[in-house]
Chains A and B, each alone.
Chain A
Amino acid sequence: MVTASAEAIRARGVSRPWRLIAGAFLAGSLLVGLGVGPVGIGAGGIVESALSHLPFLHVHSPLSSLQEAVLWQIRAPRVVLAAVVGGMLAIAGSTYQGVFRNALADPYLLGVAAGSGLGATLAITYGHVGRTGALLPLCAFVGGLSAVAGAYVLGRSAGAARAAGAFVLAGLTVTLFLTAIQTFVQQQHTNTLRDVYSWLLGGFSTATWGQVAVASPYVALSAAAILLHRRLLDVLSVGDDEASSLGVNVPRLRLLLVIAATAGTAAAVAVSGLIAFVGIIVPHTIRLLVSTSYRAVVPLSLVVGAGFLVLADVLARTVVSPAELPIGVVTAFFGAPFFAVVLRTSRTSR
């Protein structure tokens, strides 16, 4: 007879090999992002230059002053911003998928991105906040939260207490409505049209350390809140009634996670514009390769999402170099077919 021991029981967190692989992926992506461009810089040079900026190490940078400037004033803020935004969009996607128990949930489908975008657009157009203002994430957050609240109320009235899928349809409705307002505002203010439009397409071509500083606190707080609740996301997978009978205050947990994911998404949208599909591609790739438990999906989404968007940005600025593709085009190009696959498989798994 087998004796029951605690060792036989484990929940799949992130195993050590996957931790290493994810870490190596992110580090590799960062090096590629920093190294690739009109001024080529080798990985060794990047590492030594980085060390030379640390106190007490006495490492001398092998790079020329031009290379130093390109690396730390142009490329580094861009790469770091892409990493922060990518990590946030991916972890937010995994959170929405858990909270709404819907494999297709994504910051974009739930209206969060459209709401954040409209909030930011209104701020730029009427509030003269400017594209890099510190108030922009706040305006985007108000917009994103209003949108997700609208989707929530609409979804509930459509019977979402029974079917989580109603939330997604409600989110889509909200998105379409907000997009209409967005278009209207843009048409009325053709003077800011170009500014808003180029921002909406999404991208990091004008990234600055200032933007990194604006977005990072929101992203850090929201990612930390989500990471702490990853086990409860697994509990939500048994449905509201059963999670509730396990002692979880489901409405409160759902609200908390939605606010966290929305705040982070809004900050990301405010500094990067609308970049679709990261929240779908990354969590689902992790489910496919590593584990389907949120204990693994949530932390890995943060790390892998960061690396993924850095690489997507590298593509965006190299494919048609010296011109740039909007990064949203790159992610959609890979994301839309991916979405179609998820749509097909999630139908059979229900």
Chain B
Amino acid sequence: MIELRGLGVRYDGAEAVRGLSLAIEAEEWVMLIGPNGAGKTTVLRALCGLLPFAGYAAVRGRDVRTFGKRELARLIAFVPQNPVMPGELTVSEYVLLGRTPHLGRLAVEGRGDRKVVARALERLDLLPFAERGLRSLSGGELQRAVLARALAQEAPILLLDEPTTSLDLGRQQQVLELVDSLRHDGLTVLSTMHDLTLAGQYADRLVLLDRGEVAAEGAPAEVLSQANLADHYGASVRVVHDDGRVFVLPVRG
């Protein structure tokens, strides 16, 4: 579904990502992990056309640079870490913005578009909020509204930058479960993740980045090793394996 070969991105004059190669299958959920400044977000932004890059990046076998902006937006939906939430719009209006790549420049949404939005809101239990202003929503509801907008985009690929920041523990699990179920509906997901225990439980595959390069890649149990986390995060942790799951516990050295 997604193929990156020798991806290099310069950002603010520095090489943020170097020689990154990665292949992601359809309906896979791959998470990029790594210390701050490792280049996780940069990879996502380059892939959805927000940053210029060197090397090769393809979606469905076609170089992403050959896609027009709207064409690319119909293939890839991007949810940034801190989405701008225009408080003055209602949930419906906000989610309708997701239809933009499917509309002509001067067109307005038709019945079909509203139907897609209604389904997205229903999928995320937001129908009762359809007429509410974004300003009146809680953090968890806002996160669902953002996901609903991405769903309304009807793109087969979802890029999520730290989808759980600023959510409490319960909401974090809800959002991740939701993404997981969307993925089983046919979505391919590439996300970044800070919380390694959650990353280990939800991702099919982890890619550990350090200073813009792949340091380790594979199943969570392989990547989340004590040695890896000490080397690349400079962290002192205990890794607990229990019932096929991996838990990363910080331990005071």
- A246–B105 alpha-carbon span in the complex (Å): 12
Chain B positions 63 through 77: 1 when the CB is less than 8 Å from some CB of chain A, otherwise 0: 000001111111011
Instruction: List the A side residues contacting B106 at CB < 8 Å.
Output: 228-229
List residues 44-77 of chain B with CB under 8 A from any CB of chain A.
Answer: 45, 48-50, 68-74, 76-77
Partner of B118, one of A5, A11, A228, A229: A5
Using a CB-CB cutoff of 8 Å, which residues 95-152 of chain B contact chain A? 95-98, 100-101, 103, 105-109, 111-112, 114-115, 117-119, 121-122, 127-128, 130, 133, 135
B88 at the interface (CB under 8 A from A): yes
B202 at the interface (CB under 8 A from A): no
With contacts A2-B127, A4-B127, A12-B90 taken as known, whether A247 is within 8 angstroms of B83 at the C-beta atoms is no
- Given A8-B127, A245-B48, A245-B73; A292-B88 close (CB under 8 Å): yes
Query: What residues of chain B lie closer than 8 Å to A3, measured between beta carbons?
Result: 122
Please, which residues of chain A bring their CB within 8 A of the CB of B70? Answer: 247
User: Which of B76, B100, B103, B121 has the most CB atoms of chain A within a 10 A radius of its CB?
Assistant: B100
CA A243 to CA B48, docked complex, whole Å = 12
| List of B residues within 8 angstroms of A248 by Cβ | 69, 100
In the docked arrangement, what's the CA distance between A6 and B108, Å? 14
Separation in Å of the B123 CB from the closest CB of chain A?
Answer: 8
Decide if A238 touches B83 in the complex (CB within 8 Å): yes
Instruction: Please tell me if A287 contacts chain B, counting CB pairs below 8 Å.
Output: yes
A residues within 8 A CB of B111?
Answer: 6
Asked whether B84 is an interface residue with its Cβ less than 8 Å from the other chain, the reply is yes
Does residue A156 face the partner (Cβ distance < 8 Å to B)?
no
Answer whether residue A235 sits at the interface, using C-beta atoms and an 8 A cutoff.
yes
Q: Give A180 Cβ to nearest chain B Cβ, in Å.
A: 36
Query: Could you say which residues of chain A place their CB within 8 Å of the CB of B87?
Result: 349
With contact pairs A238-B97, A244-B69 given, residues A5 and B92 touching in the complex (Cβ less than 8 Å): no
Chain B residues near A9: list those with CB within 8 A: 92, 95-96, 114-115, 117-118, 121, 130
Query: From DSSP, what is the main secondary structure of chain A's interface residues?
Result: loop
Contact B93 A11 (CB under 8 A): yes
Within 8 A of B (CB), among A259-309: 287, 292-293, 295
Q: For A246, list chain B residues within 8 Å (CB).
A: 73, 97-98, 100-101, 153
CB of A344 to closest CB in B, whole Å: 16
Q: B78 at interface (Cβ–Cβ under 8 A)?
A: yes
Interface presence of B80 (CB below 8 A): yes
- B118 in contact with A4 (CB, 8 Å): yes
Using known A-B contacts A9-B130, A231-B108, A247-B100, determine if residue A238 contacts B115 with beta carbons closer than 8 Å.
no
Asked whether, in the complex, the Cβ of B49 is within 8 Å of the Cβ of A244, the reply is yes
**Cβ-neighbour of B50 out of A11, A237, A244, A349 (below 8 A):** A244
Task: Judge whether B86 is part of the interface by a CB distance below 8 angstroms.
Answer: yes
- Chain A: interface residue count, which band? 20 to 34
Interface members, chain A 2-24 (any B CB < 8 Å): 2-12
Cβ of A232 under 8 Å from chain B = yes
**CA A295 – CA B93 in complex, angstroms?**
10
Check B89 for interface membership: any CB of A closer than 8 A.
yes
Cβ contacts under 8 Å, A150 to chain B: none
Q: Give the residues in chain A near B108, CB-CB below 8 Å.
A: 11, 231, 295
Contact status B84-A239, CB under 8 Å: yes
Find chain A residues with CB under 8 A from B90 CB.
11-12, 293
Identify the closest chain B residue to A225 (Cβ).
B106
Contact A349 B97 (CB under 8 A): no
Interface residues of A in 163-178 (CB under 8 A from B): none
Minimum CB–CB distance for A244 against chain B, Å: 6
Q: Give the residue of A6, A234, A241, A244 whose beta carbon is less than 8 angstroms from that of B97.
A: A234
Q: Which of A6, A7, A232, A241 has the most CB of B within 10 A?
A: A6
How far apart are the CA atoms of A4 and B128 in the complex, in Å?
11
Q: Report the minimum CB–CB distance from A149 to chain B (whole Å).
A: 24
A244 contact set on B, CB distance < 8 A: 49-50, 69
Interface flag for A249 (CB, 8 Å) = yes
**Are B122 and A234 interface neighbours, CB within 8 A?**
no
B120 to chain A: closest CB distance in Å? 8
Given the complex of chains A and B, what is the CA–CA distance between A5 and B118 in angstroms? 6
Given the interface contacts A234-B93, A242-B83, does A10 sit within 8 Å of B88 by beta carbon? no
With both beta carbons as reference points, the residue of chain B lying nearest to A228 in the complex is identified as B106
**Which residues of chain A come closer than 8 Å to B72, judged between CB atoms?**
247
The 3 A-B residue pairs whose C-beta atoms are closest, nearest first, are: A247-B73, A292-B88, A247-B70
What are 26 A-B pairs with beta-carbon distances under 8 A? Answer: A2-B122, A2-B128, A4-B119, A6-B111, A8-B92, A8-B121, A8-B130, A9-B92, A9-B118, A10-B92, A11-B90, A11-B96, A229-B106, A235-B97, A239-B84, A241-B45, A244-B50, A245-B77, A246-B101, A246-B153, A247-B71, A247-B72, A248-B100, A249-B69, A293-B90, A293-B93
What 14 new A-B contacts, CB under 8 Å, besides A8-B130, A231-B107, A238-B86?
A: A7-B114, A11-B108, A232-B105, A234-B86, A235-B97, A237-B84, A242-B78, A242-B83, A245-B78, A246-B153, A247-B68, A248-B100, A293-B88, A293-B89
